[in-house]
Structure 1
Amino acid sequence: MDKDVKHPGVKSVGWALVQASRLHRSRTGDKLSELGLFAGQEQVLQALANSGPMTMGELAGILRVRPPTASKTVSRLSTLKLIERHTEPGDARVVRVKLTKEGKRKAAAIDALWDEVEAELLEGFDAKDRKRLRKLLRKAAKNLAGITGADQTGFETDDDLEDLSAADEPTALSA
């Protein structure tokens, strides 16, 4: 007798999220390896490309990691000559990091890679489904951030998301 075997978590949203996340990370990791990078390094390059030079503490905060974790990744990227580290004049304890020219080129390549993987991830989703999924995932992340005591910045409120969604929807004039 053939029996359709299903994972016990098949009806769990969390299980589906973990599976999608693992597959997304694997696909992104494959693409990053083509650029000579490992998963996680792209986040540092993207953060610096978007925000400019910052302290190690600021970088750790944006990445939602501990400072030693950010420092280890920065060290590796510095060895690859993608990031430069400089101590703050007057206080050598403060280290600022910024992208090199090559780091800026890699960050641009990462943006293109990210867009490609996102298109693959969301193939068959219409604009409304994409917005709804983004809203729900942000809300779920904010819920967990609040419970765990993690930094909740960067998770827009429902009202903010509704404003963004309304701005993205076609009007009668553009339809």
Structure 2
Amino acid sequence: MTSHPALARTESLGYQVNHLARLLERRLRDRIAASGVVPGQFAQLLALYEADGLTQAELCARVQVEQPTMANTLARMERDGLITREPDPGDKRRSRVRLTPRAREIEPELVAAAREVNAEAVHGLPAGEVAAFMASLAAVIANLDPTRPGPIRPSTEAIEPSR
């Protein structure tokens, strides 16, 4: 049996990004709790703030969530008065997800909370480092995105911000 060296958590991109995501989610949860929105609904709301009236399939594609998970999330959002579903005029077999007036009313509060959490996360980092970090994250995501035909750069090349 061959023994492989252990992968330190601090050297694992997956571990570090997942840890960061959990910390960001916890902070966001604390900031938006009073609004009645939970972090699991946040991506859907942001997508609908960008383009209200998407279908469930379009929402799934935009936020990279599987159909069953999206169906459960949308049911909760509908129950909580954040969305309604209306028949699609072009295809009665599907529905369009629309924001309610309540969801529109809390948009500024939710956006402000997200901006505060993001600012807290990068506090003390120079703007150039934040921009490079965001560019690197976008490149890593693109490399792993199943909707893309292939990696955006060779896997042996270090991820560096575009110049």
Q: Is the contact made by 1:44 and 1:59 (CA closer than 8 Å) also made in structure 2?
A: yes
RMSD, aligned CA: 2.3
Amino acid at match of 2:110: I
SS in 2 for 1:40: helix
Residue number in structure 1 paired with 2:138:
138
Q: Name the counterpart of 1:172.
A: none
The answer to whether the aligner puts 1:151 opposite 2:147 as a matched pair is yes
Separation in 2, partners of 1:11, 1:61: 30
Where does residue 58 of structure 2 map in the other structure? 58
Answer yes or no: is 1:68 the counterpart of 2:68: yes
1: CA distance, partners of 2:12 / 2:77: 38
The amino acid across from 1:127 in the alignment is A
Partner Cα separation in structure 1 for residue 78 and residue 128 of structure 2: 41
- How many residue pairs get aligned? The number is 148
Query: Taking structure 1 as reference, are residues 151 and 29 closer, same or farther at Cα in structure 2, changes over 3 Å only?
Result: farther
Residue type of the alignment partner of 2:79: T
Deviation of the 1:62 alpha carbon: 0.6
Q: Deviations over 1:27-49 (max 9, x none)?
A: 11222222212222111111111
Percent identical across equivalent pairs?
A: 28
Q: For residues 42 and 10 of structure 1, what CA distance do their matches in structure 2 show? A: 28
Letter in 2 for 1:43: A
Offset at 1:60?
A: 1.1
Shift of 1:128: 0.2
- Give 2:134's aligned amino acid: R
Structure 1: gaps spanning 5 or more residues: 1-6, 166-175
Q: Report the TM-score when normalising by structure 2.
A: 0.80
Give the corresponding residue for 1:95.
95
Secondary structure (helix, strand or coil) at the match of 1:110 reads helix
Runs of 4+ in 1 over 6 A off after TM superposition: none
CA–CA distance in structure 1, aligned partners of residues 27 and 20 of structure 2:
11
| Local SS of the residue matching 2:11 | coil
CA offset at residue 132 of structure 1? 0.3
